[in-house]
Amino acid sequence: MSVTEGRPVRALTLHQPWAHAIAHLGKDVENRTRRTNFRDGLVLVHAGARVDHDALRDLPADVAAAMTSSAVVAVTRITDAHPDCGGRCSTWAQPGAWHWQLAGTVALTAPVPAPGAQGLWIPDDGLRRRVARALPAHAADRLGPLLASDLFPSPERTGRL
Ligand SMILES: [Zn+2]
């Protein structure tokens, strides 16, 4: 049996500083060119290897210098995806984009190194376990206990933890 037989978990690779903004600055909308139907599980927020240098210039130099790349930095949930709402859903919403609303975001206690991929990708069991170990103590309060447990599969469910 595999961990991935539980509720689906996905990962999303973003250029820095956007992964950092979700993890630490309260960014609660991801602006995308298309909608998603993924709304019933956790999303690992992955900082890709590439950097958005224009956006990085808006941040303090020490914050920019400390920014992690090629690692999972947070866990969140996508709770809605809607076309441009005129910015009503969040100050982070951009005109002309699909707004993927994020909720319950928790920053990891330490970044978990991993290569990225395009779009919403499926993290393997090993990565899920490493991310689970890096969740802060309050993760279940933020994400919901059932959702948080998707990263903490019981030995009975997986047979090999
Ligand atoms: Zn919106």
107, β-bridge pairs: 74
Q: What is the pLDDT of residue 132?
A: 93
CA of 86 to the centre of ligand 1 (A): 7
pLDDT in the model for residue 4: 46
Q: Which CATH class is domain 7-146?
A: mainly beta
Q: How far is the CA of 85 from the centre of ligand 1 (A)?
A: 4
Expressed in angstroms and rounded, the spacing between residue 80 Cα and the centre of ligand 1 is 9
103-114 per-position pLDDT tens digit: 999 999 999 999
Q: Ligand 1: distance of its center to the CA of 119 in Å?
A: 20
Cβ atoms < 10 Å from Cβ of 91: 9
Distance from residue 90's CA to the centre of ligand 1 (Å): 6
pTM: 0.89
Q: What is the per-residue pLDDT for 161?
A: 43
Q: By the 8 A CB rule, do 45 and 66 touch? A: no
Residue numbers of the chain with a pLDDT score lower than 50: 1-4, 156-161
Which pLDDT does position 128 carry in this prediction? 93
CA 111–ligand 1 middle distance (angstroms) = 29
The pLDDT score that the predictor gives to residue 119 is: 86
Distance 97 CA to ligand 1 centre (A): 8
- CA atoms of 93 and 101, how far apart (whole Å): 9
